[in-house]
Amino acid sequence: MRTRIRVLGAAATGAALSICFAAGATAQTNGIVWEKDGWRVQMLVSTKTALGCQAIKGFASSHDASRSAAWGFISTVNGNWGLAMVGPAADRMSGQRVTITVDDQVLHVAVPRRLPSGLTIIGQLPANRMGVVASGRTLTFKAAATSAEFSLAGAGAALAAASKCAVAVREAAARSPGGLPSIGGNEASGGSSPKVSAGTGFYVSKSGEVLTNAHVVQGCATIGVKGHGDTTFRSARVKASDAKRDLALISAEASPGGGTPAVLSWRREARLGEQVAIFGFPYLGALASSGTFTRGDVTALAGIADNNAHFQLSAPVQPGNSGGPVVDDRGQVVGIVVAKLNALAVARVSRDIPQNVNFAIKSAEALSFMEANGVTASVANAGTKPLSGPDLAERLRDGAVLVMCSGSGTRAPGGSTTPNAKARRAEGGKLTGPG
């Protein structure tokens, strides 16, 4: 359902959202930068100031007599999250104590207030609980006399896009103080696909440098990273990139919590037949926003056409896994997820669907790339003991980061192929990056 209501586009003077307007200023939206499943992410500005971004959606509530309303989230440039709503149910809640729950788990208690514009500000949400919202099914507001229920389908991807958009707004405003930054284009009028994509990376130094695939960050106007424990995306930039190897080093802002990045140790080569595990952020918005852990085996020590820079593995790989770590049972990096066999292309030729034919860049390639760019990786001792499955998953979760890319550039259609796409087409078009 799509409801065209100017939600979150009101004169918001609420300190709860840390959005400050000059007297009489009005917040406006500035182009759709992401759109999917009825959600829209737009930049939110006042007359002269970039404030953040909003993710909005209409909904049908069994508790709302009007049967329709619009609601959404605000992600401000300083990392705060707010929640707002328009409609009769929101009007009835104004001034009352409201309990906000996600799947029956209490998230926050607030007192909504209605602005003259008709917008009801539900309140500021705890930043450390936004992961609960992103992975939840139902968001409910309950007051003494009324309640409203929201489906959170697609909210994970929308929240990630709004947070990434707010990072882009902050960076653009810093580059052009006093003016209104422009991020992305107006996708509604242009008809092009949303310019937001996601991949995976992982820490390779205590200073917070992250390794990922070059195709994950190729052509990005802005880059943001979010690791375990981060409540918002942190701005990042490409430090070095090698299109041939499909590797990139990115430097990110320090975590607000000031913690030391969880750096994984390395091994120089994988062995045929050994069990490996991967961690990444596939199908962002559909699967767990906290990342997924899968296992498989090293099935060949070369890639397609005997590419000696890659090895083949059977661990499941999906869009969003690109750039993620491949580790052995001791948590030592032996490769970086890079591609999967295009099952549909192969099926058209062979009438058979290949299963779990995926590829990783060998650790030796990555170690050489990092050394050439001033990063010395930690190579593990041979006597390191194997980890249990849960311990291995936790180590990968702590070391991995979600990498978000926004803005136009030279990314391949769908963000799926790597910079050396010509070489891949020469291999019969059967190899694709998992994004």
- Contacting residues for 297 by C-beta, under 8 A, at least 6 apart: 273, 274, 275, 276, 313, 314, 315
Q: Say if strands 358-362 and 222-227 run parallel, antiparallel, or are unpaired.
A: unpaired
Question: What is the pTM for the complete model shown?
Answer: 0.57
How distant, in Å, are the alpha carbons of 75, 98, 100, 141, 152 from that of 108? 17, 8, 5, 10, 16
Contacts of 428 (CB under 8 A, 6+ apart): 345
Q: Where are the chain's structural domains?
A: 15-171, 200-204+212-432
Query: Which pLDDT tens digit goes with each residue over 26-76?
Result: 444 445 677 787 788 877 655 445 567 888 886 443 333 334 457 788 877
Q: For 16-35, what is each residue's pLDDT tens digit?
A: 233 322 223 344 444 567 77
Q: Is the dihedral of CA 17, 30, 214, 359 positive or negative?
A: positive
pLDDT for the residue numbered 89 = 74
Residue pair 159/136 in contact (Cβ under 8 Å)? The answer is: no
CATH superfamily membership of 15-171: Invasion associated locus B (IalB) protein (2.60.40.1880)
Domain 15-171 and domain 200-204+212-432, same fold? Reply is no
Looking at the domain that runs over 200-204+212-432, which CATH code has it been given?
2.40.10.10
β-pairing, 247-252 with 234-242?
Answer: antiparallel
Q: Is 141 helix (H, G, I), strand (E, B) or coil?
A: strand
Q: Which has the closest alpha carbon to 125: 145, 146, 139, 104?
A: 139
Q: How far is 114 from 136, CA to CA, in rounded Å?
A: 26
Judging by beta carbons within 10 Å of its beta carbon (0-12, 13-18, 19+), is residue 300 exposed, middle or buried? Answer: middle
For the chain, list residues with pLDDT below 50.
1-30, 47-48, 59-68, 176-194, 408-430
Per-residue pLDDT at 413: 29
Pairing of strands 28-36, 275-280: unpaired
Residue 400 has a pLDDT of: 95
* Residue-level pLDDT at 433: 58
Q: Give me the pLDDT at residue 286, please.
A: 63
